[in-house]
Amino acid sequence: MSQELVTLEIDGQTLQARPGSMLIEAADAAGISIPRFCYHKKLSVAANCRMCLVEIEKAPKAMPACATPVSANMKVHTRSEKTRAAQRDIMEFLLINHPLDCPICDQGGECELQDVAMGYGNNQSNFQEIKRVVPDKDIGPLIETAMTRCIQCTRCVRFGEEVAGLRELGATGRSERMEIGTYVSKAVVSELSGNVIDICPVGALTAKPSRYTARAWEMRAHPSIAPHDAVGSNIEFHSFDGRIIRAVPRDNEAVNECWISDRDRFSYEGLYAHDRLTQPQVRQEDGSWRVVSWQEALDAVATILHHIDANRSAAFVSPTASVEEGYLLQKLMRGLGVNNIEHRLRQVDFNHADSSSASLNLAELEQQNLIVLLGANSRFEAPLLNHRIRKASLKGAKVVAINPQALDYNFDVQQVVVDSANLLNAVASLALAVAESAGGLPQALRNLNVQATDEARAWAEQLRSAEKKTILVGGLAAQHPAFGALKALSNYIGEQTGAVVSVLPSANSVGLSLAGVVPAPNAETDLNRLLASDLNTLVLVNVEPEDFAYPEQALKAMQAADQVIVIAPFADDRAREYASVLLPAATFAETAGTFVNIEGRWQSFKGAMQPKQEVRPVWKILRVIGNSMNLSAFDYMSAEEIVAEVKLETQGGKAAKTSGLPEQLVTSTLSQLPQPVHMYRTDSLVRRAKALQEMVALTPNAVSGV
């Protein structure tokens, strides 16, 4: 769509801008800085702070650049005397009630108010009276408030309404008594709430877990990638004195825009959990633990692996592991003849091999006309993917959610509740309706003995007629006994209707599948049957019982095994009971690695911190074990070298896509459905993040299957 551009002039510079866009956008694009507080590129225009006033020729008074659309031949002056006078006066007004407590304010040094006051304000005020005081509110474990500092820009309020989709903060009272808060005392619970810390231009809303720990100018920034969901949000760690103080978003329009989820923001707290492993340890005959050298520990591991009974052994790795870690683990195990390798620990049905499609594009998700969520509690599985769905919905897309129960979405959605036992039939009925109009009836559907209902036909028609459509199979589906069949049917529906079909993977599952961290076809492909078999040797890489669909069954298998090699950042009391060797491993914050997100986007990162004490990166540990077992081609010098090999083996990292329906759809029989997991209990790091753990009780519905 080509649109005539408008030509205008700012500070003598001739610029072109999209008609209808605001002056401030044109100035930003040209790198001309205009001070602002209430304006934010991702939020609606409020124009309430007036800091962005600029002189426009022929206009009687200075106009707010954030709320003045560009027009042809406009001449704007952002540094003229008139503009400067307006900026000085506004600054004086804004500071009337703002306390001069910068030395004790956590925002000091990275405060927009401080910066703009320095750059554009006066050094004296005419205001001699007493400033107002606003009592602070406790709005939960994540966000610290100092409401006297609030300049009422309402960014946080608009964020709640427009981005989080949950209006929790508001402006109550009026005039001089207007206050930002929740009015009644309650915690802010949105899964994106921490973003208000970044957008608040002053020190009114700051991060509670990191308050008073370091000053902005003392911290060092380290780019990284968040491991907790399949979005792969770009983050930045800030460290001080050898310790990670906080995590903040890094702008990447294609992935996380300028936001991150609370899980990605606050999980770093887990790095300093009291049960962090820092020394290799070997269990003694009498059951006690002895701290040993790496050499001794690796010798113990080699002894175990030399006597391994391949059929009664298995290796499990957390879905948050990097491609490099997963790849070396499977290479090591396969080298030893062990084919029981798995990372899809919360999945309960393993029929119909994964056709892990990486065809979804996050930015394009916003442009869809119809989105079908199948067993997906998207808000809590991948908050920023959900944000894209929400944006599509706000633009008019129809969203349908087919789930075993009604869920709490933050956009308009038509919820179709089908109990677990009938879920497969409901989807099969839809597939049948699609097949009917396509003219051919695949054998699998004939075998299923279902009817295409009128409702299904109506849906099929909608799917066919919608221009852009996506079917997203989520984590609740992964915990369904017919997961494989549901995926196969969804893929079939996608093929017939042209819908993009994507299975919402947990964390780095796309990358780990590519790296081969799945059982060989001739091995036991069903994880839960495998766990129930008589396993005597286990290798656990950052895995705990809670990472499995059935934690109790997993714990039993770990306790029953004779030898359990634990390579992990943490070891709790249970691990100290079932493990034979404990090898202290680095987290994603302390080593280089690569995650592949739901789009198939490979994102590599470097360690933000040096591992402490005897902690070592998992890939290095696995390399040394590989060498000590005399396996060939285990001489990697760097994570980059490993990931290059994976890319080569997987032809650039695109997963093969299977097509067509298998003749017969098979499902699993489960004696009991697994319990969905809370979004702040999904992996070992998150489970140890203190503030997030306090959120668990406040957000009982924030559960998912992955």
Partner 1 sequence: MTELHSTNNSVLSHHEREEIDHWLARYPEDRKQSALLGALRAVMHGENYVSVEKMDAIAEYLGLPAIAVYEAASFYSMFETDPSHAARYSISVCTNVSCMLNGSDSILSHIEKKLGIKAGQATPDKKFFIKVEEECLAACCNAPMMQVNHVYHTDLTAEKVDSILDGLE
**Measured from the CB atom, is 160 or 375 closer to ligand SF4?**
160
Q: Is residue 197 a contact point for ligand SF4 (CB under 6 A)?
A: no
> Whole-angstrom Cα distance, residue 486 to residue 490?
6
Q: Is residue 132 a contact point for partner 1 (CB under 8 A)?
A: no
User: Which of ligand FES, partner 1, ligand SF4, none does residue 36 bind to, with CB < 5 to 8 Å depending on kind?
Assistant: ligand FES
**Measured from the CB atom, is 38 or 385 closer to ligand FES?**
38
> Whole-angstrom Cα distance, residue 559 to residue 579?
8
> Whole-angstrom Cα distance, residue 582 to residue 282?
6
The interface region with partner 1, picked from 93-101, 176-184, 501-509, 624-632 by CB under 8 A, is: 176-184
**Measured from the CB atom, is 137 or 331 closer to partner 1?**
137
Q: Is residue 51 a contact point for ligand FES (CB under 6 A)?
A: yes
Find how far residue 28's CA is from the centre of its chain. 29
Within the chain, what is the greatest distance between any pair of CA atoms? 90
Contact pick of 63, 389, 413, 679 for partner 1 (by CB under 8 A) = 413
The position carrying tokens 């005397």 is: 81
Q: Yes or no: say if 88 and 120 are a contact pair by the CB < 8 Å rule.
A: yes
Contact pick of 155, 344, 379, 487 for ligand SF4 (by CB under 6 A) = 155
Q: Is residue 202 a contact point for ligand SF4 (CB under 6 A)?
A: yes
Q: Is residue 188 a contact point for partner 1 (CB under 8 A)?
A: no
Count of positions on this chain that bind partner 1 (CB under 8 A)? 21
Residues 610, 616, 620, 623: what is their CA dihedral angle, to the nearest 10 degrees?
170
- What ranges make up the beta strands (E) of 46-192? 53-56, 63-64, 75-77, 143-145, 170-172, 179-181
The 8 Å CB, 24+ separation contacts for 168-173 are: 168/139, 168/193, 169/139, 169/196
By CB under 6 A, the residues from 205 to 244 that bind ligand SF4 are 205
Identity at 605, one-letter amino acid code: F
Least distance in angstroms from the C-beta of 113 to ligand FES: 12
Q: Please state, in angstroms and as integers, the Cα–Cα distance from residue 23 to each residue in 7, 81, 154, 532, 596, following that order.
A: 12, 19, 21, 65, 39
Q: Is residue 27 a contact point for ligand FES (CB under 6 A)?
A: no
**Measured from the CB atom, is 51 or 297 closer to ligand FES?**
51
**Measured from the CB atom, is 49 or 277 closer to ligand FES?**
49
Least distance in angstroms from the C-beta of 565 to ligand FES: 58
Q: Yes or no: say if 311 and 535 are a contact pair by the CB < 8 Å rule.
A: no
Least distance in angstroms from the C-beta of 81 to partner 1: 36
By CB under 8 A, the residues from 371 to 410 that bind partner 1 are 406, 408-410
The interface region with partner 1, picked from 412-420, 424-432, 497-505, 651-659 by CB under 8 A, is: 412-420
Handedness of CA 500, 506, 510, 516 (dihedral sign): negative
The position carrying tokens 């890319």 is: 647
Contact pick of 8, 15, 32, 52 for ligand FES (by CB under 6 A) = 52
Least distance in angstroms from the C-beta of 171 to ligand SF4: 7
Q: Is residue 153 a contact point for ligand SF4 (CB under 6 A)?
A: yes
Contact pick of 33, 57, 115, 183 for partner 1 (by CB under 8 A) = 183
User: Which of partner 1, ligand FES, ligand SF4, none does residue 202 bind to, with CB < 5 to 8 Å depending on kind?
Assistant: ligand SF4
**Measured from the CB atom, is 36 or 238 closer to ligand FES?**
36
Least distance in angstroms from the C-beta of 33 to ligand FES: 12
Q: Is residue 172 a contact point for partner 1 (CB under 8 A)?
A: yes
- Cα(first)–Cα(last) distance of the chain, in Å? 40
Q: Is residue 90 a contact point for ligand SF4 (CB under 6 A)?
A: no
Q: Please state, in angstroms and as integers, the Cα–Cα distance from residue 499 to each residue in 166, 306, 370, 458, 495, following that order.
A: 30, 50, 9, 16, 7
Contact pick of 164, 200, 244, 370 for ligand SF4 (by CB under 6 A) = 200
- The half-sphere exposure of 264 on its side-chain side, counting CA atoms within 13 A, is 31
Least distance in angstroms from the C-beta of 517 to ligand FES: 49
The interface region with ligand FES, picked from 48-56, 154-162, 360-368, 490-498 by CB under 6 A, is: 48-56
Q: Is residue 601 a contact point for ligand SF4 (CB under 6 A)?
A: no
Q: Is residue 158 a contact point for ligand FES (CB under 6 A)?
A: no
How many CB atoms are closer than 10 A to CB 133? Answer: 10
Q: How many residues does the chain have?
A: 706
Q: Yes or no: say if 405 and 417 are a contact pair by the CB < 8 Å rule.
A: yes
User: Which of partner 1, ligand FES, ligand SF4, none does residue 205 bind to, with CB < 5 to 8 Å depending on kind?
Assistant: ligand SF4
The interface region with ligand FES, picked from 46-54, 362-370, 563-571, 610-618 by CB under 6 A, is: 46-54
Q: Is residue 156 a contact point for ligand SF4 (CB under 6 A)?
A: yes
Q: Is residue 171 a contact point for partner 1 (CB under 8 A)?
A: yes
Handedness of CA 74, 80, 86, 90 (dihedral sign): positive
User: Which of ligand FES, ligand SF4, partner 1, none does residue 383 bind to, with CB < 5 to 8 Å depending on kind?
Assistant: none
> Whole-angstrom Cα distance, residue 618 to residue 329?
9
Gyration radius of the chain over CA positions:
28
User: Which of partner 1, ligand FES, ligand SF4, none does residue 200 bind to, with CB < 5 to 8 Å depending on kind?
Assistant: ligand SF4
Find how far residue 22's CA is from the centre of its chain. 32
- Any idea what the Cα angle at residue 471 is, between residues 469 and 477, rounded to 5°? 170
Q: Is residue 173 a contact point for partner 1 (CB under 8 A)?
A: yes
Tokens of 415: 């919820």
The alpha helices in 395-442, defined as continuous H runs, are: 423-438
Tokens of 562: 């004779």
Residue whose C-beta lies closest to ligand FES:
66
Q: Is residue 412 a contact point for partner 1 (CB under 8 A)?
A: yes
Residues of the shown chain interacting with ligand SF4 in the complex, contacts defined by CB under 6 A: 150-156, 180, 200-202, 204-205
Residues of the shown chain interacting with ligand FES in the complex, contacts defined by CB under 6 A: 36-39, 47, 49-52, 64, 66
